[in-house]
Amino acid sequence: MSQYVLRRLMIAIPSLLGISLVLFIVLALAPGDPFGELATNPNVPPEVQAALRAKFGLDDPIYLRYLHWLAAMAQGDWGFSFVSRMNVDTLILQRLPTTLYVIGSAQLLALAIAIPVGVYAATRPYSIFDQIANTFAFIGFSLPTFFTGILFILIFSVKLDWLPFVYSTDIKATGIPWVLEMIRQAIMPVMVLGLFQAASMTRFVRSAMLDVIRLDYVTTARAKGLGQAKVIVKHVMRNAMIPVVTLIALQMPAVFGGAIVTEQIFRIPGIGSLLISSILANDTPVVMAVTFVFACLVVLFNLIADVLYGWLDPRISFR
């Protein structure tokens, strides 16, 4: 196994290089430029905009720009934001804690709901509990977060006045009040995002469980007189976990990537909002850095999932 992991890691380097090249080409070919905002300003002559483009090397050929980026990256230089005129790594690090806190909590909430509900619903298919769980799941993924977010704001902030809806990274308190305030302001975004994720995940867990729960060995285990809980946890869940592990491995990089819509609605200064504003401003170095880290995480979690498959189902062999 360790040999396999090592080999996969070796393969990861050229494959990440390939991904970075494609990412760069897409970003370079996409229309737009970082100084578009200047265009309608009559005080700024168009020559200024053109000079800025030239100064930042935006008019150089793509391969040259890519090589510059690659050479800098190899030396640990993440580049320099056109829009903020500061180092990209500083920008990202500034936003990382908030992203991990809010998006991470939402993912944990989603898992904490989806796994027990999905498992329990699968043990009693078409019972009342299952029907209710399904209905909530359907509502969950047929309503987009832009909609539920506003609904939550209208109910909990405007009507009831319980929760703030502008996320603040700068709470003027220390100790326990600070912790409480941090929790209070994260409730709505975490709920909106967590419930949306939980909805589809519940469906996957339920389906994966149903696939396994009717297999002969489960009946055998029951026939041996094992308790229901033990059968479900030890025999069914472990075998049903393969799709679930796949999904979690797909979701984990997203914790870093952030959730663009939810961050926008609640003004959470996370990486998602950094990414979208950088994309809209064509701030290529920032977009490149964020997506490249994201790509590394995708590759890494894909590998972790593969290793876990081997543990969940020892028959799966990797060569």
Partner 1 sequence: MAGLTLASPSAEPQRRGYSPWRETWRRYRRHRPAVVSAVLLLLLIAAVVLGPFAWRVSISDMDVVAGLQGPSLAHPFGTDDLGQDILARMIYGGRISLAVGLAAMLVSVFVGTLIGALAGMSRGALGYALMWLTDLFLSLPQLPLLLMLIYLFRDGLKAVFGPEGGIFILIVLVIGGLRWMPVARLVRAQFLSLREKEFVEAARALGASPVRQVVRHILPNALGPVIIAGTIDVAAAIIAESTLSFLGLGFPPDTPTWGRILYDAKDFLDIGPHWALFPGGAIFIAVVAINFIGDGLRDALDARKVI
Partner 2 sequence: MFDKDLRTMIDDVKDGRMNRRAFVQRMIAVGLTAPMANQILAIGGVAMAQSPNPYKPTKRGGGGPLKLLWWQGATLLNPHFATGTKDQDGSRIFYEPLASWDADGHLNPILAAEIPSIQNGGLSADAKSVTWKLKPGVKWHDGKPVTADDLVFNWEYATDPATAAVSSGTYADMTVEKVNDLTIRITFKQPTPFWANAFVGAYGCIIPKHLFAEYKGGKSREAPNNLKPVGTGPYKFVEFKPGDLIRGEINPDYHMANRPHFDTIEMKGGGDAVSAARAVIQTGEYDFAWNIQVEDEVLLRLEKGGKGKTLYAVGGDIEFIALNFTDPNTEVDGERSSMKTKHPILSDARVRKALALLVDRESVKKVIYGRAGRTTSNYLNGPEEFVSKNTKWEFSIEKASALLDEAGWKIGGDGIREKDGKKLKLLYQTSINGPRQKTQAIVKQACQKAGIDVELKSVVASVFFSSDVANPDTYAKFYADIEMFQIPMTQPDPALHMRRYHSREVATKDNKWQGRNFPRWVNKDFDAAVDAADTETDPIKRADLYVKSNDLMWQDTVVIPVMHRAAVEACTNSLRPALSGWANQTDNLQDWYREA
In the complex, which residues of this chain contact partner 2 (CB under 8 A)?
31-53, 55-56, 58, 80-81, 83-86, 91, 94-95, 150, 153, 157-158, 161, 164-166, 168-170, 263-269, 273-274, 277, 280-282
Q: Considering beta carbons, is residue 34 or 118 the nearer one to partner 2?
A: 34
Minimum separation from the CB atom of position 282 to partner 2 (A): 6
The total of other beta-carbon atoms located within 10 Å of residue 97's CB is 12
Q: ∠ CA 174-180-183 to the nearest 5 degrees?
A: 125
Q: What is the SS3 assignment for 67?
A: helix
- What's the CA gap between 111 and 116, in Å, rounded? 8
- What's the CA gap between 214 and 223, in Å, rounded? 13
Q: Considering beta carbons, is residue 135 or 220 the nearer one to partner 1?
A: 135
Find out whether 44 and 38 touch, Cβ atoms under 8 Å. yes
Binding mask 57-76 for partner 1 (x = CB under 8 A): --------------------
Counting contacts by CB under 8 A, is residue 289 touching partner 1?
Answer: no
Q: Which option in partner 2, partner 1, none does residue 148 bind, with CB closer than 5 to 8 A by kind?
A: none
Where does residue 285 rank: exposed (0-12), middle (13-18), buried (19+ CB within 10 A)? Answer: buried
Size of the site for partner 1 (CB under 8 A): 63
Which of 2, 75, 142, 228 is the binder for partner 1 (CB under 8 A)? Answer: 142
Q: Which two tokens stand for residue 154?
A: 């209208």
Q: Considering beta carbons, is residue 87 or 207 the nearer one to partner 2?
A: 87
Q: Which option in partner 2, partner 1, none does residue 47 bind, with CB closer than 5 to 8 A by kind?
A: partner 2
Q: Which option in partner 2, partner 1, none does residue 316 bind, with CB closer than 5 to 8 A by kind?
A: partner 1
Binding mask 155-184 for partner 1 (x = CB under 8 A): ---x--------------------------
* Residue position matching structure tokens 């494609």: 22
Minimum separation from the CB atom of position 13 to partner 2 (A): 31
Binding mask 97-136 for partner 1 (x = CB under 8 A): -------------------------------------xx-
Q: Which option in partner 1, partner 2, none does residue 19 bind, with CB closer than 5 to 8 A by kind?
A: partner 1
- What's the CA gap between 185 and 275, in Å, rounded? 22
Q: How far is CA 278 from the centre of its chain?
A: 17
- What's the CA gap between 54 and 70, in Å, rounded? 20
Find out whether 191 and 152 touch, Cβ atoms under 8 Å. yes
Using alpha carbons, list the distances in angstroms from residue 226 to 124, 177, 211, 230, 231: 18, 49, 20, 7, 6
Counting contacts by CB under 8 A, is residue 234 touching partner 1?
Answer: no
- What's the CA gap between 106 and 114, in Å, rounded? 12
Beta bridge partners of 80: 87
- What's the CA gap between 210 and 208, in Å, rounded? 5
Q: Which residues of this chain interact with partner 1, rule CB under 8 A?
A: 11, 15, 18-19, 22-23, 26-27, 29-32, 134-135, 138-139, 141-144, 146-147, 150-151, 154, 158, 200, 203-204, 207-208, 210-211, 214-215, 242-243, 245-247, 249-250, 253, 275-276, 279-280, 287, 290-292, 294-295, 298-299, 302, 305, 309, 313, 315-317, 319
